Amino acid sequence: MKKIKQAMVVSVILITLSLGAFSQTSTSKTEKIKTLMELTGSAKQYKQMMDVMINSVAKTSPTLPKEFLESFVKEIDFNGLINEMAPIYDKHFTETDIDGLITFYQSEVGKKMIDKMPIIMAEYMPLVQVKMKAVTERLIKAMQEQQEKDKKP
């Protein structure tokens, strides 16, 4: 059961990190997207999310060495994720949208949003963890039941 849980956790982490799908974006728009992501501290936020995930996994899977989980984080180029995310932003926002977002995040309320978001997320994550724990436990149980059924002739 622990091995299945550990495999699922590692799989979730790898899937989360496998963002991509490049598209054609104008250099001007791409630069604006990168500016927006720098303003919002995207790389820092990705790092914080991974730290929260690692801590959560470490708590729910105490037999899994924390160093093992941290080794995944060390391999991630969080600034490089910005380049990978640019096509996704391009897909969902026009250049005018990006300009508006930059203006917003340069405003006082936008700066406050950037400042408060990690605090809000830190308060929100325990709620998510409780819900995910229940879902994960049901999923593991269902997988174990299926494995038992598969073993029977």
Burial class (CB in 10 A: 0-12, 13-18, 19+), 23: exposed
Tell me which residue of 44, 53, 46, 47 sits closest to 128, measured CA to CA. Answer: 53
Give tens-digit pLDDT for 32-83.
Answer: 998 998 888 877 777 777 777 777 777 777 787 777 777 777 777 766 777 8
Measure the CA dihedral 33/34/35/36, to 10°. Answer: 50
Radius of gyration of the chain (CA): 19
Query: pLDDT grade, residue 3 (50/70/90)?
Result: low
Q: What is the pTM of this model?
A: 0.55
Q: Using CA atoms, how far apart are residues 126 and 57, in angstroms rounded to an integer? A: 12
Give the E-state strand segments of the chain in sequence order: none
Query: pLDDT grade, residue 127 (50/70/90)?
Result: confident
Is there a contact between 20 and 84 (Cβ–Cβ < 8 Å)? yes
pLDDT at 110: 93
Rounded average pLDDT over 97-107:
95
Tell me which residue of 1, 2, 108 sits closest to 63, measured CA to CA. Answer: 2
CA angle, 93 then 98 then 104, to 5°? 125
